[in-house]
Amino acid sequence: NTLSQAIARVYEKRFNLSITEWRAMAVLGHCSDISAREVAERTAMDKVAVSRALARLLAKGHIERGTASHDKRQSVLRLSEEGWKIYDQVAPLALEHEQRLLAHLSEEEREWLTRILETLWQAELGESRR
């Protein structure tokens, strides 16, 4: 969380986005046309917090709601044109920040970190499905 907050201050001031809003946009930048539930799962964040962030993003015009192609009863979310403009500016900043942090680790430490994070991610996914 401390690491997230460092870069979050940049996009909060510059783009008026909270951490939760950016995480939701980042997920939608990688996986378009997914449900709000899927956004919450992929961010591994509280469903209520994600739901509120998605409502704010809809109100700001950064995302839009559509209908799932496989089930017209299901709504899906995607970045809007405005959302893509913001995403295309923030994503490189976030990646650059991550690369600066990882530069302080040896190759072996980065490999361990990746394994540890993957293990924690899998554990979180398992618990969230209970």
CATH for the 2-105 domain, from 1.10.340.30, 1.20.1530.20, 1.25.40.850, 1.10.10.10:
1.10.10.10
Which tens digit of pLDDT belongs to each residue from 72-128? 888 999 999 999 999 999 989 888 888 888 899 999 999 999 899 888 878 876 665
Separation of alpha carbons 14 and 102, rounded Å: 24
Separation of alpha carbons 103 and 110, rounded Å: 9
Cβ proximity of 79 and 65 under 8 Å? no
pLDDT for 130: 52
Separation of alpha carbons 6 and 27, rounded Å: 19
pTM reported for the whole predicted model:
0.80
pLDDT for 2: 59
Q: List the domain boundaries for the chain.
A: 2-105
Which tens digit of pLDDT belongs to each residue from 51-63? 999 999 999 999 9
